[in-house]
Structure 1
Amino acid sequence: MTDTATAAPPVTADWRAVASIGLGIFTLVASEFLPASMLPRIAADLGVSEGTAGQAVTVTALMGAIVAPTIAVLLPRQDRRVVLIGLMALAVVSNVLVALTPSYWLLLVSRLLLGAALAGFWAFSISVTSALVPADRLGRALTVVNLGSTVAAVAAVPLGAYLGEVWGWRGVFALAAGAGLLTVLAQARWLPAVPPSGSPGLRTLAETLRRPVLFAGLIAIGLVAAGHFAAFTYLRTATALVQGLNAGLLAALLLLFGVANVVGNLAAGPLADRRLPLLVLGAPLLIGGATLAFAAAVDTTALVFVAVAVWGIGFGAVPTAFQTWIARTEPDRLESAGGLMIATFQVAIAVGAFAGGLLVDGAGVRAALVTGGVAAVLGGLSLAALRRS
């Protein structure tokens, strides 16, 4: 079997195949965020509190942290085309079960399936994408893939909330299952066969984790992600401090963050291909600087809007920046390294949100913003220093 780590890169990019991966990421991330938009309806229907219903998101992330670094070990030789299509099919099954579930516990089990599908698909997406495009187009290709995540993060909650009022929450999950099925068909049509990258296995995973630069890089990436989510999780709470921010301006502020996210994602691709060290440093600095500015400017609405726009651009660029860094740092162990990065992100989300909550309760939301901003800056400086070395 050909090893994609040593095989010659493709001469031309297969953009339809890349787009099908981005479509898969969109469907999976949208499915992950859907419960947040319909918690009151889900809780009332299943007879649990909203906080308990919210654990449907938590179990998805926890399963993702387990699956992301281990799926290449469990499936060392399978054609990655077949694996990606199978993971999408698993997400379809998850959403169908959620739509039909008679109980809260079956809902949680169904969401575990989604967590496995999401983390496994995302872990393989870096190595599969690198096999579909020339090396000097990898950043642009990852931008196409990550655009699916960005659009899903922006659209899933408001769209889910609206459709939940029209069709009910079960109907929304049925719609997500239908979108997943269309994605399966698109990938079956456009994805070529992709052999495993490197030598997937437990030994390779352990060797990858022991690589000093990668290990330090994962810590830096986790610091940036945890810093972002320590602040972003409580953005809605922070807006209560802003003078004169009515409901209309709040909606505009949240929309601005989403649009800025898309802008940052689109800008990241060319920069990743041509100025990766600048992007690896710049994106975390934008996040950190913006959160610190937000904390300092809550009395000035215009400055808050500027800070949120910069914040959105910075975080929109992060996935492509970090995935490209991983691909350039560990090209021979890309599946293992990619899985470890996704696991790091999942853990960082949980840690950041938890630490931010403690700060909000104990010292106020400004403390969460400042701490998150400092963590993002430190993570970016650390990762940039590793890149230079």
Structure 2
Amino acid sequence: MNVCLEVAGTRPANETPAWGAVFSLSLGVFGLVTAEFLPASLLTPMAASLGVTEGLAGQAVTVTAAVAMVTSLLISSATRRIDRRHVLLAFSVLLIASNLLVAYAPTLALVLAGRVLLGIAIGGFWTMSAATAMRLVPEAMVPRALSIMFSGVSLATIAAAPMGSYFGHLIGWRNVFLLAVVLGALALLWQLATLPRMAPNGETRLRTMVEVLQRPGMGRGILACLLVFTGHFAFFTYLRPFLENETGVGIQGLSVILLGFGVANFLGTSLAGLLLERSLHFTLLAMPLLMGIIGFALVVLGRLPIAHAVLVSLWGMAFGAVPVAWSTWITRTVPDEAESGGGLFVAAVQLAITLGAAVGGAIFDNSGARGVFLASAVTLIAATCVVSLSLRSRAVLATG
């Protein structure tokens, strides 16, 4: 029988995969990430309605990321005695409550309170995503299940910003958040119908995460993960000014290139499961290497809009496999503590978002977008070296 190891005190995964539950979680991911991105596309009308500056309104995004990072470190310990089905359903309830509160909030303070709820839901869900996949499908199908879950991220990346902006103009920003409430409700109903009971682990505590980080290869793996995501978010944060200033494209060309990035990212995520089933180590190694090479190429090339568009799309496709690959690495490295490992993974990603934007901003002010892309490429090559030197011999990669 091909089943997973026990995860955090729960039953092994069924030999018959629960794909309905997996897709219900993917819809939940789509709802979470859509809600996370909405303020970026609705910032101006939100600020005007609330009577604050756009800079203050933008803190709705900052608060969500900060709370998600803290939640990722605490959620497994805080919910260690609660059925995982109930915990996952609670995240969808928080998604609905967050969007309702933001939609009707008369002040920025209440908007931020709603975004705190969303941060808890995002941090909690990502922490448990790998462990949940291990319980819903056989071991060999875990990468495919994770790629389905993460496809919700890619779809939200493509749809959330343009749809939020479009519908915000037609029906107002508050009604856009009410539409997000409907999306969350649909996800909750589907999850109620498909998610099985998943027994908790009463032994998971805060010190467990420290113990997991001290396991062989885990610390260096998290370091490599941090470098990969830092390199990506530095690139992605300053992609628009690069395309406008260095590539010389107008608003229409910019929209087409960004759409190409989003579509390619979705394709990369969708294909990641098949790639990972063949070789986890190759995927962990090849994706940041390819992204680093693309970063160098973008710096070296002159104003070649078509070439830049192709390279940006290739970057999107390569990065599409990255979250799935590192989540799969967690399930194979610490299968008995996948939730704690997932918490470390989410914390590393949230820290990478902060570092990529902050350090990238300092470099941008001094060297422009080319300097940011060069630093991003160097960071990604460094990540490739860490993966190559530190993870290749690990038993968890023996099958890859």
TM-score, with normalisation over the residues of structure 2?
0.94
Match of 1:81 among 54, 79, 85: 85
Match of 2:50 in 1: 46
Aligned 8 A contact 1:279 1:321 in 2: yes
Q: Distance in 2 between matches of 1:187 and 1:365?
A: 43
Structure 2, unpaired ranges of 5+: 394-400
Aligned 8 A contact 1:88 1:184 in 2: yes
Match of 2:346 among 319, 330, 342: 342
Establish whether residue 323 from structure 1 lines up as the match of residue 327 from structure 2.
Answer: yes
Match of 2:308 in 1: 304
Q: Tell me whether 238-247 or 321-330 shows the greater mean CA deviation.
A: 238-247
Aligned 8 A contact 2:7 2:335 in 1: no
Which residue identity is paired with 2:324? T
Q: Tell me whether 378-387 or 343-352 shows the greater mean CA deviation.
A: 378-387
Percent identity over the alignment is 43
Structure 1 residues 245-264: aligned runs within 5 Å? 245-264=249-268
Establish whether residue 238 from structure 1 lines up as the match of residue 242 from structure 2.
Answer: yes
Establish whether residue 114 from structure 1 lines up as the match of residue 118 from structure 2.
Answer: yes
Aligned 8 A contact 2:12 2:135 in 1: no
**Offset at 1:9?**
3.5
Aligned 8 A contact 2:224 2:383 in 1: yes
Residues 236 and 62 of structure 1: CA distance in aligned 2, closer, same or farther (over 3 Å)? same
Q: Distance in 1 between matches of 2:249 and 2:186?
A: 41
Q: Distance in 2 between matches of 1:28 and 1:271?
A: 26
Match of 2:136 in 1: 132
Match of 2:205 among 201, 208, 211: 201
Q: Distance in 2 between matches of 1:133 and 1:301?
A: 43
Which residue identity is paired with 1:366? R
Q: Distance in 1 between matches of 2:129 and 2:42?
A: 29
Aligned 8 A contact 1:242 1:301 in 2: no
Q: Distance in 2 between matches of 1:65 and 1:248?
A: 35
Establish whether residue 373 from structure 1 lines up as the match of residue 377 from structure 2.
Answer: yes
Q: Distance in 2 between matches of 1:234 and 1:188?
A: 40
Aligned 8 A contact 2:6 2:12 in 1: no
Match of 1:151 in 2: 155
Aligned 8 A contact 2:42 2:165 in 1: yes
Q: Deviations over 1:343-376 (max 9, x none)?
A: 1101110111111111111111100011011112
Residues 273 and 247 of structure 1: CA distance in aligned 2, closer, same or farther (over 3 Å)? same
Residues 162 and 330 of structure 1: CA distance in aligned 2, closer, same or farther (over 3 Å)? same
Q: Distance in 2 between matches of 1:71 and 1:83?
A: 10
Q: Tell me whether 31-40 or 284-293 shows the greater mean CA deviation.
A: 284-293
Which residue identity is paired with 2:181? A
Aligned 8 A contact 2:98 2:118 in 1: yes
Establish whether residue 283 from structure 1 lines up as the match of residue 320 from structure 2.
Answer: no
**Offset at 1:105?**
1.1
Which residue identity is paired with 2:290? L
Q: Distance in 2 between matches of 1:3 and 1:326?
A: 14
Q: Secondary structure at the match of 2:391?
A: helix
Match of 2:183 among 168, 179, 199: 179
Establish whether residue 189 from structure 1 lines up as the match of residue 197 from structure 2.
Answer: no
Q: Secondary structure at the match of 2:303?
A: coil
Q: Deviations over 1:198-221 (max 9, x none)?
A: 842123222112224111111110
Q: Distance in 2 between matches of 1:175 and 1:58?
A: 22
Q: Secondary structure at the match of 1:4?
A: coil
Which residue identity is paired with 1:10? N
Aligned 8 A contact 2:81 2:201 in 1: no
Aligned 8 A contact 1:163 1:172 in 2: yes
Q: Distance in 1 between matches of 2:319 and 2:387?
A: 15
Aligned 8 A contact 1:198 1:335 in 2: no
TM-score, with normalisation over the residues of structure 1?
0.96
**Offset at 1:246?**
2.7
Structure 1, unpaired ranges of 5+: none
**Offset at 1:5?**
5.3
Aligned 8 A contact 1:24 1:88 in 2: yes
Match of 1:27 in 2: 31
Match of 1:220 in 2: 224
Q: Distance in 2 between matches of 1:19 and 1:385?
A: 36
**Could you say what the CA RMSD is over the residues aligned between the two structures, in angstroms?**
1.5
**Offset at 1:302?**
2.1
What is the aligned length?
Answer: 388
Q: Secondary structure at the match of 2:275?
A: helix
Match of 1:62 in 2: 66
Residues 191 and 247 of structure 1: CA distance in aligned 2, closer, same or farther (over 3 Å)? same
**Offset at 1:244?**
5.0
Aligned 8 A contact 1:198 1:333 in 2: no
Which residue identity is paired with 2:39? P
**Offset at 1:194?**
1.2
**Offset at 1:197?**
5.6
Q: Secondary structure at the match of 1:38?
A: helix
Q: Distance in 2 between matches of 1:169 and 1:328?
A: 43
Aligned 8 A contact 2:6 2:335 in 1: no
Residues 25 and 384 of structure 1: CA distance in aligned 2, closer, same or farther (over 3 Å)? farther
Match of 1:97 in 2: 101
Aligned 8 A contact 2:98 2:114 in 1: yes
**Offset at 1:87?**
1.2
Residues 66 and 279 of structure 1: CA distance in aligned 2, closer, same or farther (over 3 Å)? same
